[in-house]
Amino acid sequence: MILVTGGTGLVGSHLLFQLSQTQERIRAIRRPSSDIGKVEKIFSLYHSQPEEFLSRIEWVEGDILDMDSLKEGLDGIEKVYHTAAMVSFDPKDKAEIIETNIDGTANVVNACLEKKIKKLCYVSSIATLGRAGNNGITTEKNEWNSNHKASPYAISKHEAEREVWRGIAEGLKAVIVNPSVIIGPGDFTKGSAKMFQTMYNGLKVYTSGMNGYIDVNDVAKAMIILMESDISDECFILNSENLYYKTLFEMMAQALGVKPPKYKAGKFLSELSWRLLKIEALITGKRPLITRQTAQTANSDYRYSSEKFVKTTGMKFTPMKECIQKTAGIFLKNK
C-alpha cells in the first residue's frame, strides 16, 4: 500500500490521479483544514468520471508535524511519497516554512525508519542545488553554497534533504527529485499557476532572466518510475526546458489569447520594486507580490540539466509549449 503526504497540493493531487490509474492501494494524509475538493477538481480535468478513481483513495486525517498521527497513517504502508511542503518566499513565513519543511520531513523519515518502510520518494527543489552561474548548467553535482542570499524556503528544503540522506545512512531506501519550476493546472490564485491569471489580467513587463520548467504530470510520472525501480540513494533533477522569461511569457500570452509583456524591467527597476512593495506590505499588512529573492531570481540566468534522469530511466519530458497550451486551455475554461 502507498502513502502520499501533501495530496491536496499541485504535485500531490496529480500524483494521486496517476497512482489511481494503477492497481496500487492508496492512502493520503490530510490535515482537517485541507480541501479535498481541490483534488476532485484535478481528477475531473483528466477524466469524465472522476468518482471512480477518487474512490480508490483512502483519506486519513493527520499532520506531518504530529508524529502519532503520522505513524498511525503508516500502518500497513510499504512505500511513501512525501510531497507535503510549504512554498513561500515571504520572510514573514520563515518560522512556518522551517517547521513544516524541516521538522515535518524529519518526522516522515523517522516514522519510515520505525515502520520499516520499503522506499521513500521525497520531492525537493532545484532551490537546494548550487547555482552554476549565468554561463553554466546546473547538475546534481553542483553542491549547495550557504550564503545570506538563500531564501528561507531554499534553506528549509536543503535541510530537509539532509534529513532524507540521514535516513538513507540509517538504512532507509529513498530517492529525491529536484523539480524546476512546475507548470500545470491547479489553484490559479497562487504558486506558479498564478502566472496564468497574472498574464490574462495584462502583465506589462518581463525580466531578462532564465529558469527551468517542467510539466506537473511529468513530475508525478517520474516519481512513480523511480519508486517502481530498484534505484535508491540517488537524487535527480527534473527539468524539461530552460527558457528566458520573455519566451515563457510569450508562450503563455499566445496560449491565453492576450498581448505579451512589452516592457523590459531591468535589475534596477526590480530592486526598486521589491523595496517599495515591502514598504507597502508593512503599511497595509498584505503580502508583497515581489520579494528580494524573487526579484534577484527574475534577473538571473539559471539553467538545469536532467541528463542523469533521462539516461537512467529513458523518460522523455513534455515540451513546455504543449504544457502551457494545455494549462492555458484549462484556465480559460474554468476562469
For the chain, domain boundaries: 2-183+214-240+304-318
Query: Residue-wise pLDDT tens for the chain (335 aa)?
Result: 999 999 999 999 999 999 999 888 999 998 888 888 889 999 999 988 888 889 999 999 999 999 999 999 999 999 999 999 998 877 788 899 999 999 999 999 999 999 999 999 999 999 898 776 656 899 999 888 766 577 888 999 999 999 999 999 999 999 999 999 999 999 888 888 888 998 999 888 888 888 999 999 999 999 999 999 999 999 999 999 999 999 999 999 999 999 998 877 655 444 434 344 444 444 445 554 555 555 556 667 889 999 999 999 999 999 999 999 999 999 999 87
Domain spanning 2-183+214-240+304-318: CATH 1.10.357.10: no
Contact 73, 63 (CB under 8 A): no
CA 73/CA 77 separation, integer angstroms: 8
Q: Residue 149: is it exposed, middle or buried by C-beta count within 10 angstroms (0-12/13-18/19+)? A: exposed
Distances (CA, A) of 119 to 51, 115, 167: 29, 11, 11
